[in-house]
Structure 1
Amino acid sequence: MNDSSTLVTPAEQPMTWSGWGDPTLRPGLSPRAEAHLARWIGPLERHTPPVALEDVRTSPSRLDDTTRAALTAIVGQEGVRDDHRTRVEHAGGKSYPDLLRRRRGDAVAAPDAIVYPRSHDEVAAVLEQAVESGIAVVPFGGGTSVVGGVEPERGPFDSLIALDLSHMDRLVDIDEESLLATFEPGMRGPEAEAALRRRGYTLGHFPQSYVYASIGGYVATRSAGQASSGYGRIDEKVHAVRLATPAGELSFGRAPATAAGPDLRHAVVGSEGLLGVITEATLRVHHAPEQEVHEAWAAPSFAAGAEVLRELVQSDAAPDVCRLSDEDETRVFLQQTEGLKGSGFRGYLKLRGYGEGCLVILGWSGRSDGIALRRAAATRILREHGLLRLGAKPGEAWAHGRFSGPYLRDDLMDRGVFVETLETSTTWSRIPTLYTAVRDALTDTLTGLGTPPIVMCHISHVYESGCSLYFTWIARQDVGRELEQWQAAKQAAGDAIIGAGGTITHHHAVGTDHRRWMTDEVGSLGVAMLRSLKDTLDPTGILNPGKLLPDPDAG
């Protein structure tokens, strides 16, 4: 049984400006994993640590005294900050390009000031002032975006503020009879979960960014948690939402279901701060689980494992967590996980006729008696397909380290390694084509640049009609051309996704990184619909310039 207390402990340290999370918690590569990686991409010798904070370059703040005074009158003296550290911390999110720039000392695009509202009314007043003063506003939650979603892009404006919502961090209300909880947007995942657990409930939403991501960020980016097969994605949880926009207040969510026209809540969910600022979100919650169980199985191939997951979900037997790693990701996981002898374990799989083996992680959450029934139903299907039960140890190892992946990226970047992720989804019938297309695009592109990669993949979210594919790739950095290397890989993979019938993003959102494919995703008329919403709610265009929508000349 997994100790669920690890899911409800708030982060004790703020997010570091140069990487992920609390640097004192950084696990680093295991010796076995380092040796294994070196055999694939070469020795990990070059050390490229980030510069010192005082050496990070920023431009002088361009916020004029009149506007600064007006903002201070709204949020108070302590609510407007422009010190060096705070500006650097808000100079982007946690994408690979974001970190490359800051680690090298480049934060010249940092916001001119960071404003901390404490209420819906203060958010509305700040937006009104921003329109009057002609300054751009980037809503800022946990700062965990990996697709450029909080980049300080000014668009046509000379000045820009980050609107940091971390002071709006209350659990406003729980309607226990209706199983609904209302949150302010700046409440982080662990704080929200801890507040709910004290009352006997859970949100059940655990993305990899959970420790630092915020409730408002979940909703604004249409987030999907690791237990989405059981608890559902965030868009399935949104009952009501309150939005402050430059044009006024919006509030949606009168009833659990309605036929009163299109569901306008979903114009807000996934809007990425372009239409307004989420100031309250009412979400469906669940009774806190009595038990949590994780276990592992082995499939003989990625295709065979995918077929089993398809049958599980289409037979209504899918666990809350359904995760299948391909052969390469399985190999890396076993090398990195302490207590599992990677080479010996693979030898055992080969001896049993499972080749390299593909790791399947399954997790159940809920009442003990319910878990027993659900596990029995799933086990029957797994055994019918010939999967090999590996027991609890690999499953619990995954659960224990489920939020530590971004720390490993920091360690690899210190060693001159290019490491990046992307995710997509499509129908079950298209999964083999999409999987091959993206792997080939990344492998061919990076090999052509002289930096052959390891390309790994897993399925992490399943639906009756299809599933997600989450890719991770690792290669030597192309020294002196790191951003160009990233751009080439991203372009090739994005084009391959669109060509193979996938979505350009399943749960990371669009931000700056994916907006060039939005016309492919929704069509030129769909983009025009989004622009019309933007023009109605934010007619001067102050909110989060450069995100979600493609350049006007691009369609």
Structure 2
Amino acid sequence: MSWDAWGIPENRRALSVEVESLLRTALGISPHPRADSSQNSVRLTRSRLSVERRHALEAILGAAHVSTEDAVRVHFLGGKSTLDLLARRSGTLQFAPDAVVFPANEEEVHALLRYCSDESIAVVPFGGGTSVVGGVDPVREWFDTVITISTRRMKAMTALDEVSRTATLQAGVTGPEAEQMLASHGLSLGHYPQSFAFASIGGFAATRSSGQASAGYGRFDDMVESMTVVTPIGITVCGRASASAAGPDLRQVFLGSEGTLGIITSVTVRVHPMPECTEYRSWWFPDFVSGSAAFRDLAAMTGRPTVMRLSDEAETAVNGSKDGGCIAVATFEGTRAQVEARAHMADGVVTARGGDVRSPESARRWEHERFDAPYLRDALLDAGALAETLETATSWAALASVRATISSALVGVLTEAGTPPIVMSHISHVYPTGASLYFTVVCATAEDPSTQWRTAKDAATRAMMDLGATLTHHHAVGRDHLPYMKSEVGTVGATLLRAMKVALDPASVLNPGKLIP
């Protein structure tokens, strides 16, 4: 990806006339083009890797797979949040890892971790670099040297069990690569987060990723049968059978551990046959309350949709609807008979809750554009608009209160700062007992946009915690959410996390400054 933007340059989007008009009329922003920054002009912290340590790393991997070049290090500065991009564009000195190393297998990863543990060298695992919470920042803390371990050379499907429908994929395999490998066997993983084009299998597991088809296929952690994880004290394989009563499920120790307890090198995942067909649905509801009630009913259905997304009134209006109310989109995958029956049942639930079945064009358009939003965020930032997201999950009973309180907190803080925002939200992941809430915030940038957003997000996050909602549904913890982590897991939970850290990573070299309160 670009060092200072999301994705690849040729896919960047210009703002439409409609969006530019919205910025002017609703937010008082006059869009102005931003001059392209040059990778050659960026200033990085100099590498502190000593000659002796470089030789030691080269002895493990080979000289070709150890780099201290600025042209390489600039692509490993961290993730792709708005705060990250603001830092890249600031012209200030960028904090880069002292070296980037590229192991090819778990044995090389283990050798690296043993050496780094002995030498007290901080290690940051790096998959696709799509974190939006500071999860892959090269945090130095008290270490004099920090290196980034890229998984990009670990790109193979090493096993496929077509009878049991499982596949073993190395950690560096990206979402599109996984689908391509499986498609040649008539299979699919069906995990499509917004970061799909660039994020990796290892990253999906390390952050408990949730894809847009979670209603049909589950979260990524639901798909994991087993994992190979490398720690400084050894290599472990977690998970043996489809289910086990052999004590606590050790997969759960490393799922969501964000590289702080070990580096995931391969994952065995559940896969399914490619669907025979896809049926699309667009539904209209008079308000978010009736739409949420319908989604609650749908979540309890055995044959619920594969994809479910309900936009609130603000998001529906910004997306171009002239009818008011809320638009929901859904897809159904399977055989023709299955999808027709499931779609028919879902339509009945929708109409019973006061909704209407509309042309499926909205659902088709959403699917076509679903990976484009980060490019639009960059274009908005170029134009002088701060655009960022945050997410949570809560029970169905608390959903309306959580949504209203978080929205109010965001509006209040940003309005007080002189930059009244547009706040939009949607449901995109549902469960029998609750759902996620995903917020998008757009406002004019203040003189110090980083402080502007940190202050707003702090208010929203404190509102989540006060109402018992979760700190994060799928973005993970990283650096950004770390100050709130003890409130999330409690004193005993924090003690347990720290104890596991000490046991698995005695020198505390793994991804410092993330997750562990």
Question: Contact between 2:88 and 2:94, CA under 8 Å: does it hold in 1?
Answer: no
Question: Displacement of 1:383 after TM fit?
Answer: 1.8
Residues 1:467 and 2:467 are matched in the alignment: no
State the SS of the aligned residue for 1:59. coil
Cα-to-partner distance string for 1:103-131 (whole Å, 9 max, x where unaligned): 22345310011000001100001111111
The equivalent residue for 1:499 is 466
Q: Determine the C-alpha separation between the residues in 1 that align with 2:319 and 2:304.
A: 23
Question: Displacement of 1:187 after TM fit?
Answer: 0.3
Residues 1:357 and 2:343 are matched in the alignment: no
State the SS of the aligned residue for 2:159. strand
Question: Contact between 1:527 and 1:549, CA under 8 Å: does it hold in 2?
Answer: yes
The equivalent residue for 1:241 is 227
The equivalent residue for 1:486 is 453
> Structure 1 residue aligned with 2:514, among 506, 525, 547?
547
Q: Determine the C-alpha separation between the residues in 2 that align with 1:60 and 1:395.
A: 49
Q: Which amino acid aligns with 1:182?
A: T
Residues 1:439 and 2:425 are matched in the alignment: no
Question: Contact between 1:88 and 1:107, CA under 8 Å: does it hold in 2?
Answer: no
State the SS of the aligned residue for 2:397. helix
Q: Which amino acid aligns with 2:356?
A: L
Q: Determine the C-alpha separation between the residues in 2 that align with 1:459 and 1:513.
A: 23
| Greater displacement, 309-318 / 16-25 | 309-318
Q: Determine the C-alpha separation between the residues in 2 that align with 1:29 and 1:539.
A: 50
Q: How does 1:61-460 map to 2 (within 5 A)?
A: 61-334=47-320, 342=321, 346=322, 349=323, 356-460=324-428
Cα-to-partner distance string for 1:316-352 (whole Å, 9 max, x where unaligned): 3420111000011011112xxxxxxx4xxx1xx3xxx
Question: Displacement of 1:49 after TM fit?
Answer: 4.2
> Structure 2 residue aligned with 1:520, among 487, 506, 509?
487
Question: Contact between 1:18 and 1:50, CA under 8 Å: does it hold in 2?
Answer: no
Q: Determine the C-alpha separation between the residues in 2 that align with 1:85 and 1:433.
A: 48
Cα-to-partner distance string for 1:168-226 (whole Å, 9 max, x where unaligned): 01011111111110010000000001100110100010000000000000000000000
Q: Determine the C-alpha separation between the residues in 1 that align with 2:91 and 2:153.
A: 28
Question: Contact between 1:51 and 1:104, CA under 8 Å: does it hold in 2?
Answer: no
Q: Determine the C-alpha separation between the residues in 1 that align with 2:489 and 2:113.
A: 29
Cα-to-partner distance string for 1:368-421 (whole Å, 9 max, x where unaligned): 221111111111111222212221211100000000000001101111111110
Question: Displacement of 1:294 after TM fit?
Answer: 2.4
The equivalent residue for 1:20 is 6
State the SS of the aligned residue for 1:315. coil
State the SS of the aligned residue for 1:511. coil
The equivalent residue for 1:10 is none
Cα-to-partner distance string for 1:283-321 (whole Å, 9 max, x where unaligned): 111111111232211110011100000011123342011
Question: Contact between 1:189 and 1:215, CA under 8 Å: does it hold in 2?
Answer: yes
Q: Which amino acid aligns with 2:20?
A: E
Question: Contact between 1:294 and 1:399, CA under 8 Å: does it hold in 2?
Answer: no
Root mean square deviation of aligned Cα: 1.1
> Structure 2 residue aligned with 1:537, among 498, 504, 511?
504
Q: Which amino acid aligns with 1:544?
A: N
Cα-to-partner distance string for 1:456-508 (whole Å, 9 max, x where unaligned): 000000000000000000011102x1111011011101101111111000000
Q: Which amino acid aligns with 1:505?
A: T
Cα-to-partner distance string for 1:9-42 (whole Å, 9 max, x where unaligned): xxxxxx1111111121123322112212321111
Question: Displacement of 1:83 after TM fit?
Answer: 1.6
Q: Which amino acid aligns with 1:520?
A: S
Q: Which amino acid aligns with 2:152?
A: S
Q: Determine the C-alpha separation between the residues in 2 that align with 1:489 and 1:538.
A: 35
Question: Displacement of 1:48 after TM fit?
Answer: 3.9
Question: Contact between 2:283 and 2:328, CA under 8 Å: does it hold in 1?
Answer: yes
Question: Displacement of 1:57 after TM fit?
Answer: 1.1
> Does the C-alpha gap of structure 1 residues 50 and 276 become closer, same or farther in structure 2, counting only changes over 3 Å?
farther
Q: Determine the C-alpha separation between the residues in 2 that align with 1:25 and 1:109.
A: 27
Question: Contact between 2:284 and 2:355, CA under 8 Å: does it hold in 1?
Answer: yes
Residues 1:41 and 2:27 are matched in the alignment: yes
State the SS of the aligned residue for 1:283. strand
Q: Determine the C-alpha separation between the residues in 1 that align with 2:343 and 2:12.
A: 34
Question: Displacement of 1:47 after TM fit?
Answer: 3.9
Q: Determine the C-alpha separation between the residues in 2 that align with 1:50 and 1:247.
A: 45
Structure 1's consecutive aligned runs of 4 or more residues displaced over 6 angstroms after TM superposition are none
State the SS of the aligned residue for 1:429. coil
Q: Determine the C-alpha separation between the residues in 2 that align with 1:178 and 1:314.
A: 27
Q: Determine the C-alpha separation between the residues in 2 that align with 1:29 and 1:377.
A: 39
Q: Which amino acid aligns with 2:357?
A: R
Question: Contact between 1:188 and 1:213, CA under 8 Å: does it hold in 2?
Answer: yes
Q: Determine the C-alpha separation between the residues in 2 that align with 1:211 and 1:227.
A: 15
Question: Contact between 2:171 and 2:264, CA under 8 Å: does it hold in 1?
Answer: yes
Q: Determine the C-alpha separation between the residues in 2 that align with 1:306 and 1:49.
A: 43
State the SS of the aligned residue for 1:470. strand
Question: Contact between 1:93 and 1:146, CA under 8 Å: does it hold in 2?
Answer: yes
Question: Contact between 1:49 and 1:103, CA under 8 Å: does it hold in 2?
Answer: no
Q: TM-score, normalised by structure 1?
A: 0.92
The equivalent residue for 1:3 is none
- Identify unmatched segments of 5+ residues in structure 1: 1-14, 335-341, 350-355, 551-555
Q: Determine the C-alpha separation between the residues in 2 that align with 1:109 and 1:520.
A: 29
Question: Displacement of 1:45 after TM fit?
Answer: 2.9
State the SS of the aligned residue for 2:431. coil
Q: Determine the C-alpha separation between the residues in 1 that align with 2:185 and 2:388.
A: 39
Q: Determine the C-alpha separation between the residues in 1 that align with 2:35 and 2:429.
A: 34
Question: Contact between 1:322 and 1:362, CA under 8 Å: does it hold in 2?
Answer: yes
Q: How many residues align?
A: 517
Question: Displacement of 1:50 after TM fit?
Answer: 5.2
State the SS of the aligned residue for 2:279. strand
Q: Determine the C-alpha separation between the residues in 1 that align with 2:141 and 2:458.
A: 23
